[in-house]
Amino acid sequence: MIRATGLRKLYGDARARRAALDGVDFSVEPGDFVAVLGPSGSGKSTLLAILGGLDRDYEGRLEIFGSELRGLGDAALARLRGARIGFIFQAFHLLSHLSVIDNVLAPSLFAEGAGDLRLRALALLDRVGLVDRRDDPPTELSGGQRQRVSIARALLRKPDLVLCDEPTGNLDAETGERIVDLFRELHVEEKLTLVAVTHEERLARAATRTVRLRAGKIDGGEA
């Protein structure tokens, strides 16, 4: 599903180059639930952005769904991202002038053949415990509630792959537990493939595999 070889990402200018990723080999097979662990600044968000095609300024090879990412044009990449990949960002990226339900629907406004999205959006909001807040703007929600809206949004079009950056980072223990349960259910019942960056034990325990990053390299191979 994803095959990355020798990924390198450099930040900074010619005088002060720093490698955020420095020779990372990483693959994801369908049905995997991979937890990406590692200290702050180790390259976790950088890796996720590259895997999802959000950052194409990297060195190395990256195949997603069988295509070399660099070979895809903007339109093809956008289509692939919209239909097959869901993102849950570290900062939620919700639109403050739209209601909760419209935030869930917004990225799919022009989606084709995706069935009754509004019904699915309501079902997902129910699942994350926010259906009664559907008409509120996200500015009236807590951090954890915003995170749950972004989870519903990521799942709307039944992606094959969900990339999440600290999906439980803003949640209290109980809400975090519910989200972990939701991921586990989606993984087991809907065969969703997940890659989740996390600092949290309970999310890492739910994963089928963990990968540790340290200073831009995979630490000690995959476990």
Q: Which residues bind Mg ion (CB under 5 A)?
A: 45
Residue 41 binding ligand ATP, by CB under 6 A: yes
> Radius of gyration (Cα) for the chain, nearest Å?
17
Query: With CB under 6 A, what is the number of residues at the site for ligand ATP?
Result: 10
If binding is defined by CB under 6 A, does position 45 make contact with ligand ATP?
Answer: yes
* 153 interacts with ligand ATP by CB under 6 A: no
Question: Beta strands 209-214 and 193-197: pairing type?
Answer: unpaired
Piece of 22-30, 41-49, 50-58, 69-77 that binds ligand ATP (CB under 6 A)? 41-49
Examine residue 103 and tell whether it contacts ligand ATP (CB under 6 A): no
Supply the minimum distance, in Å, between the C-beta of residue 8 and ligand ATP: 12
| Stretch of residues binding ligand ATP (CB under 6 A), selected from 43-51, 67-75, 81-89, 136-144 | 43-51
CB of 139 to Mg ion, least distance (A): 24
Q: Does 43 bind ligand ATP (CB under 6 A)?
A: yes
Question: Rounded to whole angstroms, how far apart are CA atoms 10 and 117?
Answer: 39
What is the spatial distance between Cα 126 and Cα 55, in angstroms, rounded to a whole number?
32
* Comparison of 60 and 129: residue with beta carbon closer to ligand ATP: 60
Residues contacting 158, CB < 8 A, separation 6+: 114, 190
Evaluate whether 26 touches 4 at the Cβ level (below 8 Å).
yes
**Residue nearer to ligand ATP on the CB measure, 42 or 130:** 42
Cα 56 from Cα 113, distance rounded (Å): 28
Taking alpha carbons only, the member of 102, 86, 88 closest to residue 179 is: 88
Alpha carbon separation from 133 to 20, 124, 140, 142, 182 (Å, rounded): 39, 12, 9, 12, 19
Alpha-carbon distance 141 to 21, whole Å?
35
Smallest separation, CB 133 to Mg ion (Å): 27
Residue from 32, 42, 153, 183 touching ligand ATP (CB under 6 A): that is 42
Nearer to Mg ion, 45 or 198 (CB): 45
* Residues near ligand ATP (CB under 6 A): 11, 20, 38, 40-46
